C-alpha cells in the first residue's frame, strides 16, 4: 500500500518526518538495493561465483546478470567502491590467509577506514556504505566448490550466511568495554593452557572490538566538530546529545533506553559490515528494563521512546520479534512491546518485525498488531505462531531451557536467541530435479505402477540430499577460516568462552542445517496427475507425457489441459492434498536422516524466498500442466491460480501439514482492498482470520493489501514518483514495489489472486 | 431428504453481514432486474455456462450432449439455451474446465459440513451464514431447515431477500434468522415493472410485514439495502423517496445501506449469452462524493458501501 495514504495513529513531528522523507529518497535513489549474482543463485542459493549475496560494488557483481531482489538492505550505497581496497592488509602485504586473525586484521582496517557520518535531524547515528566482502577475498577452496557443482547437478546448493539471532542482552549488559575484558580474560586463560588456535581467534576478536570502539569514538569527534559550527539551537542540542550517548557506549555498558537503542543499532552497523543480515531478537525483552528504569527516573516520555525505536526502524527495519512467551510459559508482552508497535505506527514503511502470537497473548496487543497490519497494508508486522516455532525447535532437539527463547529472525526463519547458528536461510533443494530424473528412469525401466515410480523418486531425492550434505560439510570444514562472524560471536552464548567463532564446529549450542525445499506443490501436483492419468486412468503413457513436456507441451494442449486440470493442492481436496503431505513428509524424513559434521541433522523448510520466480525456464515444463515460462509455486503456497476454491479452502489444505515438523512454511496472503467491505473493521477480521489460521496449526502469515491495478500501473511506470512509496511484503521480506526486478513484479501481481472472492 | 439448488458457496465473505460469513447462493429469482449482478442465479433450474476464454474449441463436449444443444462456432463452443435441459453432462469431459455447472443440489448436512469448518472464525469475527440468491424464499422449506440447523449449533444467520416472497414462507424463515437484508431498489411502480419485471406491491407488503414482525418479536435485526444503479435510482429524488418510505414504514428506522455500482459482472452476461444494458457503467469517485454529500439531506442515517473507480492515478 502507498505509505503516504496510510492513516498513522501517531503523527511524526517535523524532525521525524524529515528522517522518514530521507528514507524514501534513499530508496528512490536506488541506494538500498539488495543484489544477488544471477538467477542461478536464486534457485540454488549458490552460483559458484560469490560465496554470499553480491554487493552492489566490488568484485562479485556482474552488472549484466545480477538481479535486484528488493531494497531491504541496511547498507546505504553511496555509489562508490570502498576507496582503500588495495590497501587492505591481506592485499597490500600479499598476506592473505584463510584464518580468523587474518580476517580480523582486514575487518579492523576496513572499519577504521569507514567514515563516521551524522545526518541532520537524526538522534541515532551509524550508517555504512560498504561490506567487507567487497574488499576482502571471499572464496572457499576448490574442494568446496567442486562439491557445490556436484550438488547443483543433482538439484541442491547453498551458502552459510545470515539470519542467526545473536543475544544482544549479552552486549547490552557488558558494553563494548566489558566484551573486550571478557575476550581478554579468555584469551589469557587459553594462553596459559597453550591452546594457540583459540588464542589466535580471541586475539582477532580483540582487534575487532578495539576497532569498533574507535569507530564509535569517531562519531563523538564528528558530532563535536559539527556542533562547533552549528547555529541552529535544536540541531546543536541533538549533536550534543549524540556526543554524550556515543561517548557513553564507547566507554561503558548502556544505562538508558537511548544508549541501549544506540548500542543495538551500532551493533547492527558493525555486524552488517560483515556482509550479512541477521535477526536481532526480541526487542521488547531487550529494552524493557531500560524503559522502566528511565520512566521511573522521569527522564523519558512514551513519545520519546517511540521516536527512539522509530529512528532505528527508519535506519533499517531489521528482523526483530515481539511477544511470544517467557521461560515460565507466560505471555511475554510488555510495555515495550507496545512501544515497538507504536513506533512503527509513527514511522511506517518497510520493516521486518514479527509478532509472535500464542493463544494466551494479550488480546489488545494482538488486536493492535492486526490493526496496524491492515491499516498500513504492507505486511508489517509479520504474524508468526510462537508455539509452533518452539515445538519445531524442541522436536529438532532443543533443550527446553533454550527453546523458549526463540525469535522470528528472517523472511520466515526463527532462531534460538544467542544459542543457534542459523544455517537456514540459503540452502536449497530443488525438488523438481529428482522428480525429473525419476520420470526418465521410470520410462527406461518400463515401470507399470505409481508405486514403482515413487520408489525411484525416493531414491533420487536421497541422492540429491546426499550431495547437499557433502557440499555443506565441505563448507563447514572451512567456514570459520574463510569468513568468521566475529561481531555476531560476541553476542553468542558459549563462543567467546570456548575461543571459537559461531560458524565453527563445536561452538554454538545448536547448528541444524535447514533446507529450503523448492517446488513441493509442483512436485506433488505433478505426481498426483501422473498417478491419476498415467497409472489409474491410463489416458496417457509416461513416455507420451515426457515427450510433451520436453517440447513444452507444444501441439499437446489437450493433454496439457488434462494434466493441468487434475485435482491440485490448495483446494481442500483430499486426493491432491494427501499427495502434498506424502511429498513433504518424504523429503523431511530423508533430510532428517542426514547429519552434518557438526553433529546436527538436516531439516526441511517448506519455503524458498525467491527461486520460484526464476526457476521455471531453468527447469522446463512439468507434469502439473505448467509451461516452462511460468514460475513455480512459492514455498508451500499453491500454484498461482490453482487454488480456485478460495482462501478458506487453501487454509484447510495448508494446515493439513504439521508445521512443527518443518522449519517454517509461510502462508502468503495477498488481498485487494475490496476484500474488506467498506467500513468493516478489517483489523478485527484479520485478527480473527489469523488466530483461526494459527489455531489450525499454521505457522506464519505474510499479508499484503494491494490494489493490483495500481501495481500494474506501477510496473509499467516504474519511474513515476507517485508509485515510489508502495511497500509490499515480497515473501517474508519487505520491499518498495518499484525497486524490484520486473520478473518479481510480474510474479507478485499474478499472485494477487483472491480479488474476486 | 430435502435438497437445495445452490449455484455458489462463498466462504470468508465480508460483504453480506457482520464478520466473516459463509454465503450460500440459492438459484431462482422472481425478479429480473436488468442490472442484476448474478444473472446465473435467476433461472430456478440447473444450467451451465461457457467461459469462451478457456474454450479451446476441441469439441469434446458436443457429442456428450443428449439434446444436441452444443455446437462449434468461431469463438469456440456455443450453447443453445433453448435446447439445454441443464443435465450438465457436458461439464466433466471438458479438458479446460471451460464449461461450468450452475446449480448443484445440496442437503442440509452437506452444507453444514462446509459451514462448520469456519465456526471458529464466525465466533471470533462476529460472523455466520448468509443465505442469498436469487431469492432464497423460492426454496423456503429447505432454507428453513438450513437456518434452523445453523442456529441449533450456535451459528449466526442472515437472510438476504428481494422482498418478493410469500409472507407465510418469510415468517417461517425469520424464526431462525438473526438478521434480514431486504432490497429496496426503486420507488416508482412503473420503473419497477420496467426494470425488475414486477410492481412494488409485494415488496411493500413484505416491508410492512417485517416491521410488524420486529414489533412482535424484537430480536430481529433488519437492514435495508439499496443498490445504486446509474441513471435509474442514484438521483437525489429517488433516494429521498426511498428514505421517506423507510422512515414512514418502520417504527424504528433500520440500518440502511447504499451500494455503489460496478460493472465487474459483465463477463457473466457473455457466458449466459445475455445482453446487458449496463455495460461500462460504473460509479466513480466523483459519484461517491455526490452521494456522500446527499447523505446529509436524507431524513435517516445511511451508510455507503461498495467500491468505485479511482480518480486517475490517485
In chain B, which residues have pLDDT < 50?
A: 313-314
**Cα separation values, B122 from A220, A684, B13, B125, B178, Å:** 57, 12, 11, 5, 14
Q: Give the three cell numbers for residue A505.
A: 564446529
pLDDT of residue A58: 42
**Can you tell me the distance from the alpha carbon of B131 to that of B180, in angstroms, rounded to the nearest whole number?**
10
Are A252 and A177 in contact by the 8 Å Cβ rule? The answer is: yes
* Residues 90-129 (B) with a CB less than 8 A from some CB of A: 95-97, 117-118, 120-121, 124-127
Grid-cell match 589469557, residue found = A188
3-state SS, residue B15: coil
Residue contact B313–A722, C-beta within 8 A: yes
Q: Which residues pair with B76 in a beta bridge?
A: B73
Burial class (CB in 10 A: 0-12, 13-18, 19+), A536: exposed
**Can you tell me the distance from the alpha carbon of B281 to that of B265, in angstroms, rounded to the nearest whole number?**
11
- Cα A184 vs. chain centroid, distance in angstroms? 33
Residue contact A649–B11, C-beta within 8 A: yes
In chain A, which residues have pLDDT < 50?
A: 56-59, 753-757
Are B117 and A652 in contact by the 8 Å Cβ rule? The answer is: yes
3-state SS, residue B39: helix
**Can you tell me the distance from the alpha carbon of A70 to that of A509, in angstroms, rounded to the nearest whole number?**
33
**Closest CA relative to residue B262, chosen from B294, B305, B314, B313:** B305
3-state SS, residue B28: coil
**Can you tell me the distance from the alpha carbon of B187 to that of A643, in angstroms, rounded to the nearest whole number?**
42
Q: Give the three cell numbers for residue B237.
A: 429524488
pLDDT of residue A46: 86
Q: Would you say the CATH fold of B47-102 matches that of B4-43+106-305?
A: no
Q: Does A4 touch chain B (CB under 8 A)?
A: no
**Can you tell me the distance from the alpha carbon of A525 to that of A584, in angstroms, rounded to the nearest whole number?**
12
For domain B47-102, give the fold: Alpha-Beta Plaits (3.30.70)
**Can you tell me the distance from the alpha carbon of A565 to that of A559, in angstroms, rounded to the nearest whole number?**
10
Of residues A557, A646, A709, nearest to B12 (C-beta): A646
pLDDT of residue A669: 86
Spatial CB neighbours of A271, under 8 Å, sequence gap ≥ 6: A166, A278, A487, A488
Q: Give the three cell numbers for residue A732.
A: 517474508
pLDDT of residue A364: 98
**Cα separation values, A172 from A178, A490, A626, Å:** 10, 11, 52
DSSP H or E run through A709: helix A708-716
**Can you tell me the distance from the alpha carbon of A455 to that of A439, in angstroms, rounded to the nearest whole number?**
11
- From B308, which residue of chain A is nearest by alpha-carbon distance? A674
Q: Give the three cell numbers for residue B292.
A: 456522500
What is the SS3 assignment for A117-178? CCCCCCCCCCCCCCCHHHCCCCCCCHHHHHHHHHHHHHCEEECCCCCCCCCHHHHHHHHHHH
Give B117's contacts in chain A (Cβ within 8 Å). 648, 652
pLDDT of residue A55: 58
Q: Does A729 touch chain B (CB under 8 A)?
A: no
**Can you tell me the distance from the alpha carbon of A427 to that of A605, in angstroms, rounded to the nearest whole number?**
10
**Can you tell me the distance from the alpha carbon of A395 to that of A588, in angstroms, rounded to the nearest whole number?**
13
Residue contact A722–B120, C-beta within 8 A: no
- Burial of A365-402, coded b for 16+ CB within 10 Å and e otherwise, reads bbebbbbbbbbbbbbbbbbbbbbbbbbbbbebebeeeb
Give A710's contacts in chain B (Cβ within 8 Å). 310
CB count in 10 Å sphere of residue B13 = 21
DSSP annotation of A4: G
Q: Does A497 touch chain B (CB under 8 A)?
A: no
Q: Does A574 touch chain B (CB under 8 A)?
A: no
Residue contact A757–B10, C-beta within 8 A: yes
pLDDT of residue B314: 45
pLDDT of residue A752: 54
**Can you tell me the distance from the alpha carbon of A576 to that of A560, in angstroms, rounded to the nearest whole number?**
17
pLDDT of residue B311: 59
Q: Does B183 touch chain A (CB under 8 A)?
A: no
Of residues A565, A647, A684, nearest to B95 (C-beta): A565
pLDDT of residue B157: 98
pLDDT of residue A420: 95
The three-point CA angle A646-A648-A651 to 5° equals 110
- From A723, which residue of chain B is nearest by alpha-carbon distance? B313
**Cα separation values, B129 from A644, A675, B7, B116, Å:** 21, 17, 16, 10
Are A351 and A317 in contact by the 8 Å Cβ rule? The answer is: yes
For domain B4-43+106-305, give the fold: TIM Barrel (3.20.20)
Q: Which residues pair with B309 in a beta bridge?
A: B284
**Can you tell me the distance from the alpha carbon of A538 to that of A561, in angstroms, rounded to the nearest whole number?**
16
* Residues 19-78 (B) with a CB less than 8 A from some CB of A: 19-20, 56, 58, 60
Are A1 and A376 in contact by the 8 Å Cβ rule? The answer is: yes
The three-point CA angle A37-A42-A47 to 5° equals 50
**Closest CA relative to residue A554, chosen from A484, A442, A629:** A629
Burial class (CB in 10 A: 0-12, 13-18, 19+), A490: buried
Give A540's contacts in chain B (Cβ within 8 Å). none
Q: What does the domain layout of chain B look like in residue ranges? A: 4-43+106-305, 47-102
Q: Each residue of B13-46: pLDDT tens digit?
A: 999 999 999 999 999 999 999 999 999 999 999 9
DSSP annotation of A75: S
Q: Longest Cα pair distance anywhere in chain A, in angstroms?
A: 86
Q: Does A561 touch chain B (CB under 8 A)?
A: yes
CB count in 10 Å sphere of residue A138 = 20
Burial class (CB in 10 A: 0-12, 13-18, 19+), A618: middle
Residue contact B14–A677, C-beta within 8 A: yes
DSSP H or E run through A736: strand A734-736
**Can you tell me the distance from the alpha carbon of B43 to that of B54, in angstroms, rounded to the nearest whole number?**
24
Amino acid at each position: 500500500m502507498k505509505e503516504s495514504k496510510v492513516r498513522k495513529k501517531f503523527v511524526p513531528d517535523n524532525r521525524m518526518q524529515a528522517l522518514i522523507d530521507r528514507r524514501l529518497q534513499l530508496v528512490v535513489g536506488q541506494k538500498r538495493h539488495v543484489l544477488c549474482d544471477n538467477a542461478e543463485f536464486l534457485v540454488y542459493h549458490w552460483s559458484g561465483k560469490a560465496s554470499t549475496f553480491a554487493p552492489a560494488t566490488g568484485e562479485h557483481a556482474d552488472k549484466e546478470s545480477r538481479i535486484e531482489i528488493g531494497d531491504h538492505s541496511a547498507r546505504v550505497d553511496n555509489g562508490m567502491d570502498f576507496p582503500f581496497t588495495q590497501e587492505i592488509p591481506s592485499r597490500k602485504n600479499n598476506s592473505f590467509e584463510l584464518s580468523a586473525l587474518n580476517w580480523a586484521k582486514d575487518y579492523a582496517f576496513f572499519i577504521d577506514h569507514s567514515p563516521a557520518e551524522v545526518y541532520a535531524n537524526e538522534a541515532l547515528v551509524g550508517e555504512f556504505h560498504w561490506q567487507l566482502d567487497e574488499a576482502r577475498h571471499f572464496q572457499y577452496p576448490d574442494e568446496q566448490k567442486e562439491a557445490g557443482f556436484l550438488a547443483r547437478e543433482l538439484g541442491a546448493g547453498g551458502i552459510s550466511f545470515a539470519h542467526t539471532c545473536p543475544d544482544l542482552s549479552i552486549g547490552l549488559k557488558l558494553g563494548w568495554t566489558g566484551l573486550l575484558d571478557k575476550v581478554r580474560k579468555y584469551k589469557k586463560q587459553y594462553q596459559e593452557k597453550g591452546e594457540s588456535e583459540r588464542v589466535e581467534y580471541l586475539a582477532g576478536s580483540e582487534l575487532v572490538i578495539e576497532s569498533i570502539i574507535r569507530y564509535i569514538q569517531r562519531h563523538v569527534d564528528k558530532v563535536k566538530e559539527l556542533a562547533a559550527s552549528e547555529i541552529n539551537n535544536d540541531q546543536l542540542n541533538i549533536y550534543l546529545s549524540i556526543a554524550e550517548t556515543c561517548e557513553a557506549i564507547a566507554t561503558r555498558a548502556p544505562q538508558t533506553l537511548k544508549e541501549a537503542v544506540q548500542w543495538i543499532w551500532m551493533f547492527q552497523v558493525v555486524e552488517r559490515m560483515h556482509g550479512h543480515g541477521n535477526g536481532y531478537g526480541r526487542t521488547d525483552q531487550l529494552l524493557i528494563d531500560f524503559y522502566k528504569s528511565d520512566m521511573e527516573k522521569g527522564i523519558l516520555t512514551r513519545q520519546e521512546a517511540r521516536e527512539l525505536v522509530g529512528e532505528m526502524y527508519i535506519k533499517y527495519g531489521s528482523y526483530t520479534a515481539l511477544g511470544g512467551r517467557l521461560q515460565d510459559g507466560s505471555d511475554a508482552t510488555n510495555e515495550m512491546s507496545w512501544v515497538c508497535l507504536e513506533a512503527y505506527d509513527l514511522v511506517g514503511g518497510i520493516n521486518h518485525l514479527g509478532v509472535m502470537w500464542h493463544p494466551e497473548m494479550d488480546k489488545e496487543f494482538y488486536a493492535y498488531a492486526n490493526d496496524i497490519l491492515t491499516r498500513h497494508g504492507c505486511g508489517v508486522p509479520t504474524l508468526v505462531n510462537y508455539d509452533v516455532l518452539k515445538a519445531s525447535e524442541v522436536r529438532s532437539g532443543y533443550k527446553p531451557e533454550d527453546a523458549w527463547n526463540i525469535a522470528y529472525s528472517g523472511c520466515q526463519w526463527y532462531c534460538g536467541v544467542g544459542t543457534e547458528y542459523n544455517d537456514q536461510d540459503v540452502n536449497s533443494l530443488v525438488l523438481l530435479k529428482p522428480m525429473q530424473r525419476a520420470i526418465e528412469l521410470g520410462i527406461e525401466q518400463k515401470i507399470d505402477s505409481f508405486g514403482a515410480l515413487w520408489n525411484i523418486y525416493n531414491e533420487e531425492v536421497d541422492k540429491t540430499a546426499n550431495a547437499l550434505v557433502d557440499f555443506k560439510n565441505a563448507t563447514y570444514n572451512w567456514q570459520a577460516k574463510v569468513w568468521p562472524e566475529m561481531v555476531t560471536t560476541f553476542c553468542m552464548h558459549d563462543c567467546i568462552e570456548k575461543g571459537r567463532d559461531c560458524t565453527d564446529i563445536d561452538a554454538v549450542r545448536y547448528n541444524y542445517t535447514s533446507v529450503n525445499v523448492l517446488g513441493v506443490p509442483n512436485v506433488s501436483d505433478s505426481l498426483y496427475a501422473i498417478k491419476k492419468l498415467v497409472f489409474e486412468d491410463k489416458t496417457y503413457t509416461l513416455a507420451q507425457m515426457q515427450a510433451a513436456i520436453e517440447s513444452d507441451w507444444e501441439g499437446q494442449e489437450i493433454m496439457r489441459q488434462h494434466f493441468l486440470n487434475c485435482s491440485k493442492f490448495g483446494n481442500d481436496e483430499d486426493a491432491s492434498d494427501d499427495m502434498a503431505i506424502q511429498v513433504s513428509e518424504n523429503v523431511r524424513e530423508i533430510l532428517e536422516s542426514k547429519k552434518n559434521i557438526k553433529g546436527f541433522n538436516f531439516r526441511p523448510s517448506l519455503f524458498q524466498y525467491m527461486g520460484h520466480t526464476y526457476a521455471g525456464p531453468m527447469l522446463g515444463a512439468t507434469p502439473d500442466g505448467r509451461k516452462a515460462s511460468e514460475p513455480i509455486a512459492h514455498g508451500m503456497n499453491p500454484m498461482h491460480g490453482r487454488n480456485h476454491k478460495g482462501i478458506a479452502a487453501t487454509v484447510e489444505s495448508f494446515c493439513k501439514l504439521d508445521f512443527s515438523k518443518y522449519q517454517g512454511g509461510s502462508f502468503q496472503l495477498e488481498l485487494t482492498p475490496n476484500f474488506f467491505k467498506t467500513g468493516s473493521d478489517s483489523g478485527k477480521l484479520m485478527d480473527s482470520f489469523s488466530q483461526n489460521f494459527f489455531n489450525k496449526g499454521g505457522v506464519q502469515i505474510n499479508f499484503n493489501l494491494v490494489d493490483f491495478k495500481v501495481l500494474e500501473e506501477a510496473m509499467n511506470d516504474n519511474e513515476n514518483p507517485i508509485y515510489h512509496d508502495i511497500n509490499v511484503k515480497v515473501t517474508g521480506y519487505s520491499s518498495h514495489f518499484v525497486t524490484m526486478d520486473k520478473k518479481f513484479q510480474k510474479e507478485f501481481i499474478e499472485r494477487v489472486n483472491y480479488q474476486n472472492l | 431428504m430435502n435438497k437445495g439448488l445452490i449455484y455458489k458457496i462463498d466462504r470468508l465473505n465480508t460483504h453480506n453481514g457482520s464478520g466473516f460469513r459463509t454465503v450460500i447462493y440459492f438459484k431462482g429469482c422472481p425478479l429480473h432486474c436488468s442490472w442484476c449482478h448474478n444473472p446465473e442465479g435467476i433461472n430456478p433450474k440447473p444450467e451451465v455456462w461457457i467461459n469462451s476464454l478457456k474454450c479451446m474449441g476441441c469439441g469434446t463436449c458436443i457429442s456428450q450432449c443428449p439434446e444436441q444443444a452444443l455446437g462449434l462456432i468461431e469463438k469456440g463452443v456455443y450453447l443453445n439455451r433453448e435446447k439445454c435441459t441443464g443435465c450438465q453432462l457436458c461439464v466433466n469431459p471438458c479438458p479446460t474446465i471451460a464449461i461450468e455447472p450452475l446449480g448443484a443440489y445440496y442437503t442440509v448436512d452437506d452444507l453444514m459440513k462446509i459451514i462448520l469448518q469456519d465456526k471458529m472464525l464466525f465466533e471470533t469475527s462476529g460472523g455466520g451464514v448468509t443465505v442469498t440468491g436469487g431469492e432464497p424464499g423460492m426454496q423456503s422449506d429447505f432454507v428453513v431447515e438450513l437456518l434452523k440447523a445453523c442456529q441449533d449449533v450456535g451459528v449466526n444467520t442472515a437472510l438476504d431477500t428481494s422482498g418478493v416472497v410469500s409472507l407465510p414462507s418469510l415468517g417461517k424463515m425469520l424464526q431462525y434468522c438473526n438478521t434480514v437484508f431486504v432490497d429496496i431498489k426503486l420507488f416508482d411502480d412503473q420503473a419497477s415493472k420496467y426494470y425488475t419485471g414486477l410492481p412494488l406491491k409485494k415488496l411493500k407488503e413484505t416491508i410492512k410485514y417485517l416491521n410488524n414482525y420486529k414489533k412482535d418479536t424484537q430480536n430481529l435485526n433488519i437492514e435495508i439495502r439499496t443498490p445504486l444503479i446509474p441513471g435509474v435510482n442514484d438521483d437525489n429524488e429517488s433516494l429521498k423517496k426511498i428514505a421517506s418510505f423507510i422512515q414512514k414504514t418502520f417504527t424504528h428506522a433500520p440500518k440502511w445501506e447504499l451500494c455503489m455500482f460496478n460493472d465487474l459482472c459483465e463477463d457473466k452476461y457473455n457466458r449466459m449469452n445475455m445482453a446487458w444494458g449496463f455495460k461500462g457503467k460504473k460509479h466513480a469517485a466523483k459519484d461517491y462524493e455526490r452521494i456522500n454529500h446527499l447523505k446529509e439531506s436524507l431524513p435517516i442515517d445511511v451508510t455507503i458501501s461498495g467500491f468505485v473507480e479511482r480518480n486517475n492515478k490517485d
